[in-house]
Amino acid sequence: MNKLSKQQNLVSITKILPNTTSKEINTYNAYITEKRLKDFSTKEDLLLINSLIVRWATYVGIATPEATEINMLANFIKEHFLNFNAYDIKECINLIANQTLETDAEHYGKLSPIYISKVLRAYQEHKNTIIFKVRDSIQKLKEAEIVPISDKERISNFKQLLAIAKNENLQGLTYVDAGDSLYNFIKYNKLISITNELRDEAMDYGNKLYLAQKKKKVTETVIKNESFKKVADMQFEKADIIRKYAREFVVNRFLLNLDLADILQKINMEMLKY
């Protein structure tokens, strides 16, 4: 996730999310932006995680481990909780000190890998609950902010799509019907008769394009010395790929005989309810 994406996913403390606390938002924001423990490599990083282990011992009222033990515990945490960040460790320590983290872990006077593991696993469950909760609140907030597109705008957009498709067809190009928008429009409004002859032509076209695509993929795989997994996946998806190309064939056959000016005058919302 790049820096811009991270910033776009941040939740402002001032933004109102139903039933969500500022601490939960902080946890979510740290999850989005903070450096993961698996990426800790600098001297400052190592000093930070070591200082958090010292803080842990202090907060739960036990003796500070020896330097070698601190390094061992730091490596253990980095290895087994690599997707945590420094904020997670700090928050986990606070929850333990406040006795608000649901866990039966006992330290018995010493920070040990077993104790730390039990505590951090309990924190992981606590954190997951928060992440899912905040994500759900954000999604609901976004959905509430979406302004439904008007019928007039939808008709205008579809007319533009149809004009673009017809123009490509006139240039001798094959129009790629992304999302099957035109195919579903044609089928819903029964704008072309799907005869057995047309169906056979379409499936034959789909099969030829599938074989050409597969040959190209095999050649690229050999040249780049890559795994043949993608080629194998194509075989698994063969029927879907052929049908997709067959639908495109029907769309382009329709466009070939389409009177654009005539249909643009006729299009209404009823025709777009496919």
E strand spans, 66-204: none
pLDDT at 142: 82
With 0-12 CB in 10 A as exposed, 13-18 as middle and 19+ as buried, what is 171? exposed
Tokens in use for 7? Answer: 């910033």
At 62, the amino acid letter reads: I
Please tell me the distance from the alpha carbon of residue 151 to that of residue 158, in angstroms, as a whole number.
11
Model confidence at 9: pLDDT above 60:
no
Confidence of residue 10 (pLDDT cuts 50, 70, 90): low
Q: What is the mean pLDDT of residues 132-138?
A: 90
Model confidence at 87: pLDDT above 80:
yes
Structure letter (DSSP) for residue 146: P
Predicted TM-score of the model (pTM): 0.53
